[in-house]
Amino acid sequence: MTDHILSQNSPAAHDIDIARSRETRRHRLNAVLRYALLTAVGLLMLYPLIWLIGASFKTNSEIFSNPGFWPENPTLDGYIKGWKTSTPYSFGTFFLNTLWIVIPKVIGTAISCTAVAYGFARFDFPGKKILFAALIATLLLPNVVTRIPQYLIFRDLGWLDSYLPLWVPSALAGDAFFVFMLVQFLRAIPRDMEEAARVDGATTWQTLIFIVVPLLMPALISVCLFQFMWTMNDFLGPLIYISSVDKYPISLALKLSIDTTEAFEWNRVLAMSVLSLAPALAVFFLAQKYFIDGISSGGIKG
């Protein structure tokens, strides 16, 4: 054993040098291969989106003849006509409708999920285990099984063709994912500060507002961002509950525009698709850290 180690100085050292340089060469080749593959996949993934942006400035005849990004005869035709839509309302109405669905829903989600997560993470009470099990069960319960009776309940409440069916379940912490994510986050936060505040006479309510919420902020921002994205993209909810065109969000308006104009006015549909993706893309690039953190820590579906 010792002989072996002592002999390293002489001829063997040379061999090691060769092996080492072979190793670095292999590493470099490995890295080059990885970069090449990653870039190729990345381009393949993003090209449809890039093409979409270019195509929205193309003339109708060019959309199905030019696979490139750059329009040969750039035109704003698609945007101008698309914005007017084939309905009495402009696309601006549908954007405002979408915001009017999204913003109350996000606020309701943030408030209710914070309160519920706080209740689960910081209190003991009769039935806690059963309720937590119910939370996990809701997490796994496919919506498809509750959708029809939910529709009937909203019908009996007289809420059809309003945004209430989209707002109210979320304002009652209906998105179990977010509650679960916040509970996990809260469990990892030490309770010292909260206990100190309680000793100083703060109520649980004050402790929640002034101590827990600031600490919870990063997770809460993730929750708001995911809810924003999901609601922007939601199609089935509005499809079932909203019937008047003047209340349509962009998802339904886009579906309407394919039904009415797609046969001939392709660039209108593509231009409005670009506009409808723009808010989500902007929010994602401004806050991507929260998305990645949210998904890798909380384990959110996507």
301 binding another protein? (CB under 8 A): yes
What would the DSSP string read from start to end of 210-224?
Answer: IIIHHHHHHHHHHHH
Residues 67-96 interacting with another protein (rule: CB under 8 A): 67
Stretch that binds another protein, among 3-11, 71-79, 88-96, 117-125 (CB under 8 A): 117-125
Q: Contact with another protein (CB under 8 A): which of 71, 100, 119, 260?
A: 119
146 binding another protein? (CB under 8 A): yes
Q: Contact with another protein (CB under 8 A): which of 227, 232, 242, 247?
A: 232
Alpha helices in the chain (DSSP H): 2-6, 11-55, 60-63, 77-84, 91-122, 128-140, 147-156, 164-171, 176-187, 192-199, 204-207, 213-233, 236-241, 250-261, 266-286, 288-293
Residue 246: DSSP 8-state: G
State the amino acid at position 297 in one-letter form. S
Q: Contact with another protein (CB under 8 A): which of 2, 10, 125, 192?
A: 125
Nearer to another protein by C-beta: 10 or 212? 212
Contact assessment for residue 107 and residue 220, using Cβ atoms and an 8 Å cutoff: no
Nearer to another protein by C-beta: 22 or 147? 147
204 binding another protein? (CB under 8 A): yes
Q: Contact with another protein (CB under 8 A): which of 13, 16, 29, 37?
A: 37
Nearer to another protein by C-beta: 11 or 140? 140
Q: Least distance in Å: CB of 16 to another protein?
A: 15
Q: Least distance in Å: CB of 65 to another protein?
A: 7
Binding to another protein by CB under 8 A, coded x per residue (else -) over 269-298, reads: xx-xxx-xx--xx--x---x--xx--xxx-
Tally of CA atoms within 13 A in the half-sphere of 16 that contains its CB: 7
266 binding another protein? (CB under 8 A): yes
42 binding another protein? (CB under 8 A): yes
Number of residues in contact with another protein, rule: CB under 8 A?
94
Return d(Cα 7, Cα 179) in angstroms, integer: 63
Q: Contact with another protein (CB under 8 A): which of 151, 162, 193, 213?
A: 151
Return d(Cα 82, Cα 271) in angstroms, integer: 7
Tally of CA atoms within 13 A in the half-sphere of 83 that contains its CB: 6
Burial label, 245 (beta-carbon count in 10 A; 0-12, 13-18, 19+)? middle
